[in-house]
Amino acid sequence: MRRFALLLTVLGSVSVTVILASSRPAHATFPGANGKIAFASDQAGNIDIYAINPNGTGSTQLTTNPATDTRPAWSPDGTKIAFVSFRDGNAEIYVMNANGTNQTRLTNDPAGEGRPSWSPDGQTIAFHSNRTGDFEIWVMNADGTNPTRVTDVAGVDIHPRYHPDGGRILFTHSVDDGTNGPLSLWTVHTNGKNTKQLTEDSLQAGGGDWSPAADRIVFASNYCFVCPSSDIYVINPGGQHLRQLTTDFGNNLDPKWSPDGTKITFSHEDPPVDFTDQQIFTMNSDGSGKFNVTSNTANNFAPDWGVP
């Protein structure tokens, strides 16, 4: 069996109700115009957060800490970026302004925290954490207060992404500790109820994201740290109508929709896959029109697409 390493360190089971307070409709910013793509890169030596225009121009370094900063996630209004940083000795969730200023820690726990995802109203952030012994999906207020566990499924639950209506969370599930799989996509309501598996274990699906219209889910199949090939697929929210978008030999990972729903950004690495030469790409939502956004010799990965 292939070995599936999910980088759990960068990457808890009581059901509780999470109230999403908002003064505006959840769909207020979805779909929106396409803005910059945030991503992680080691082009300056350390792994830091950058932002770049979708046409490959205007690359800007946003963090400069000697420790690793990774997994950026745009707020729905495009004014902030949540991210993961190791600057305090372990993986914690931080937030900063879109220009890199006012970097503030949101979590403070000896456990590993990872993969922040904003609710559509910008009031809460979902993330995964092993603070109770295994990785589960949690949510907290956008200022870091009131962390609350959502999932209660045996195994590992990681990589949350909010549904555009704010009422559900998509996540990646592994039946074991995340090192051997199988992996599949699941959904859960934000109150911890109605947990549902969407993809078959054989797909080894991971890192999913809802389309802005919530009519499709994009994900990486054969989600694998050491495999020579992983491809991007889409499926409808009911788990039907699977369609493969990439067919090239290499690793295609971490797909994210553009705010207007017409494009997808993802990371790609040609063989041999060793996670040292990933590049950020975009493509049309049907898999056509692939474009290399970051054409450099650095390792560029973990993209997320924001609004202007």
Nearest to 153 by CA among 195, 112, 185, 205: 195
Distance between CA atoms of residues 269 and 46, nearest Å:
19
Residues 141-191 have pLDDT tens digits of: 999 999 999 998 888 999 999 999 999 999 999 987 655 668 999 999 999
Distance between CA atoms of residues 265 and 254, nearest Å:
8
Higher pLDDT, 273 or 6: 273
* Matching residue, tokens 């697409």: 305
Are the beta carbons of 51 and 38 closer than 8 angstroms? yes
Express as a percent the part of the chain with pLDDT over 70: 87
Residues 247-277 have pLDDT tens digits of: 988 899 999 999 999 999 999 999 888 889 9
Are the beta carbons of 50 and 58 closer than 8 angstroms? no
In this model, does residue 17 exceed pLDDT 50?
A: no
Which pTM does this prediction carry? 0.90
pLDDT at 223: 67
pLDDT at 156: 94
Residue 230 DSSP label: B
Strands 113-118 and 104-105: unpaired
Domains of the chain from N-terminus onward: 26-305 (2.120.10.30)
Which band of pLDDT confidence, cut at 50, 70 and 90, is reported for residue 87?
very high
Distance between CA atoms of residues 204 and 211, nearest Å:
20
Higher pLDDT, 47 or 295: 47
Q: Is 189 helix (H, G, I), strand (E, B) or coil?
A: strand
